[in-house]
């Protein structure tokens, strides 16, 4: 979806005397508007087309009198609405990769497989250049659309098998999110600069085990860390403060290794 505007509806709370506390009478919401050529429909009423053109920070009302704030989308708003094919990497894990490897505006990254290019796009938003490899035509096409939608000029998509090799040299980070990451260790080894990072992300611990056991056979890598990140969201409603009832499920495990020479 090409997000043109973001609408935010704040939660509405009212004090209920009988309960002696505030209760939520209207739920919060965030809406991504993909066309400015027509009225926008929400479950809280219709926002008129002309109101969608109001300047950032304007407070507007639906035909049912509900209040919304409007602003232009940031990268993250557009990112959240990209097309998804295979399971994309969640934000918590993408952020962990950035934090642990310290990549920045000077870094070059090689990523495989592209999938929906979610991780590749997130990294390209932070670093100097990303090259992402994908073997399947259908995923290649989805990735291409997402990269174009986000307007990332520093992200190159290649229709290539990463197990067979990586063209780039002296890269700072190689990220692997594919079924048999151990098959890409030699490719990654040739592409990475000394001190660079190899990161494998996998939903299954048996894949991680195979990857780590294979990695240990390569003396040009040092295993730095195997980790899983768990995100638990909380509800804060007056003094009713507790973890949300629906936990966020398992995503994947991460292996971090350092290229030594
Ligand atoms: N990290 C991606 C999701 C990757 S899904 C995201 O955040 O969107 C895994 C992808 O790896 C699939 O699209 C699959 O086709 C691709 N793949 C599998 N083996 C590959 C290989 N040898 N070389 C390149 N891509 C590969």
pLDDT exceeds 90 at position 246: no
Establish whether residue 139 lines the binding site of ligand 1, counting it when its CB lies within 6 angstroms of any ligand atom.
yes
Summarize pLDDT for 22-43 with one digit per residue, the tens.
Answer: 888 888 999 999 999 999 999 9
- Which residue lies with its CA nearest to atom 17 of ligand 1? 113
* 46/91 same-domain check: no
Residue that terminates a domain, selected from 40, 75, 110: 75
Q: Compute the distance from residue 88 Cα to the ligand 1 centre, in Å.
A: 10
Is 181:198 a contact under the CB 8 Å cutoff? Answer: no
What value does the mean pLDDT of the chain take?
Answer: 95
Structure tokens at 32: 């991504």
Q: Verify that 109 and 60 share a domain, yes or no.
A: no
Residue that is last in its domain, among 48, 75, 102: 75
Beta-bridge mates of residue 202: 253
pLDDT in tens, 131-171: 999 999 999 999 999 999 999 999 999 999 999 999 999 99
124, 125, 134, 158, best to mutate for ligand 1 pocket (most atoms within 8 Å of CB) = 134
CATH number of the domain where residue 237 is located = 3.40.50.150
Nearest CA to ligand 1 atom 21: 161
Residue 247 has pLDDT above 80, yes or no: no
For residue 122, the ligand 1 atom closest to its alpha carbon is 7
Which DSSP letter does residue 48 get? P
The pLDDT, as a whole number, for residue 72 is 98
Please tell me the distance between residue 134's alpha carbon and the centre of ligand 1 in angstroms: 6
Q: Is the dihedral of CA 37, 69, 58, 16 positive or negative?
A: positive
Is residue 99 within 8 Å of residue 227, measured between CB atoms?
Answer: no
The answer to whether the CB of 135 is under 6 A from ligand 1 is yes
CATH code at position 28: 3.10.330.20
pLDDT at 24: 81
Average pLDDT of 174-197? Answer: 98
Does the pLDDT at position 236 exceed 90?
A: no
248 — pLDDT class (breaks 50, 70, 90): confident
How confident is the model at residue 27, as a pLDDT?
A: 87
Residue 122 is inside which H or E element, if any?
A: helix 118-124
Residues 87, 63, single domain; the answer is no
Task: Let me know: does 31 contact 6? Beta carbons within 8 Å.
Answer: yes
Q: Model confidence over 58-114: pLDDT tens digits?
A: 999 999 999 999 999 999 999 999 999 888 999 999 999 999 999 999 999 999 999
d(CA 191, CA 166): 6
175 Cβ below 6 A of ligand 1: no
Backbone phi, psi, residue 38, to 5°: -150, 165
pLDDT computed for residue 86 by the predictor: 80
| Alpha-carbon gap, residue 199 to 155, rounded angstroms | 19
Whether 87 and 142 share a structural domain: yes
Alpha carbon distance 184, 182 (integer Å):
5
How much of the chain exceeds pLDDT 90, in percent? 88
Domain with 9, as residue range(s), is 5-75
Q: How many domains does the chain have?
A: 2
pLDDT band at 245 (very low <50, low <70, confident <90, very high): confident
Q: Are residues 55 and 120 in the same domain?
A: no
- Same domain? 55 vs 88: no
Q: Does 17 share its domain with 107?
A: no
Q: Is the same domain home to 68 and 120?
A: no
Domain C-terminal end among 21, 40, 75: 75
117 lines ligand 1 (CB under 6 A): yes
Mutate to test the pocket of ligand 1, among 81, 88, 93, 114 (most ligand atoms within 8 A of CB): 114
Q: Is 88 exposed, middle or buried (0-12, 13-18, 19+ CB in 10 A)?
A: buried
pTM for the full predicted model: 0.94
């Amino acid at each position: 979806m090409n997000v043109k505007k973001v609408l935010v509806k704040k939660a509405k709370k009212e004090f209920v005397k009988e309960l002696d506390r505030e209760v939520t009478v209207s739920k919060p919401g965030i809406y991504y508007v993909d066309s400015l050529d027509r009225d926008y429909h929400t479950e809280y009423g219709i926002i008129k087309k002309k109101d969608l053109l109001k300047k950032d920070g304007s407070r507007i009302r639906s035909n049912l009198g509900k209040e919304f704030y409007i602003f232009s989308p940031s990268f993250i708003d557009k990112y959240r609405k990209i097309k998804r094919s295979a399971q994309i990497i969640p934000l918590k894990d993408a952020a962990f990769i950035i934090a642990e490897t310290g990549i920045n505006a000077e870094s070059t990254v090689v990523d495989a497989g592209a999938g929906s290019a979610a991780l590749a796009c997130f990294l390209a938003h932070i670093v100097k250049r990303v090259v992402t490899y994908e073997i399947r035509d259908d995923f290649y096409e989805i990735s291409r659309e997402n990269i174009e939608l986000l307007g990332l000029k520093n992200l190159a998509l290649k229709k290539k098998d990463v197990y067979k090799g990586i063209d780039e040299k002296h890269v700072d980070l190689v990220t692997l999110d594919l079924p048999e990451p151990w098959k890409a260790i030699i490719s990654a080894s040739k592409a990475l600069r000394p001190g660079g990072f190899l990161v494998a992300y996998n939903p299954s611990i048996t894949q991680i085990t195979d990857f780590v056991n294979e990695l240990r056979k390569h003396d040009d890598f040092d295993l730095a860390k195997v980790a899983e990140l768990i995100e638990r969201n909380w509800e804060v409603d007056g003094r009713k403060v507790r973890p949300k009832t629906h936990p966020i499920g398992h995503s994947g495990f991460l292996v971090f290794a350092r290229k030594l020479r």
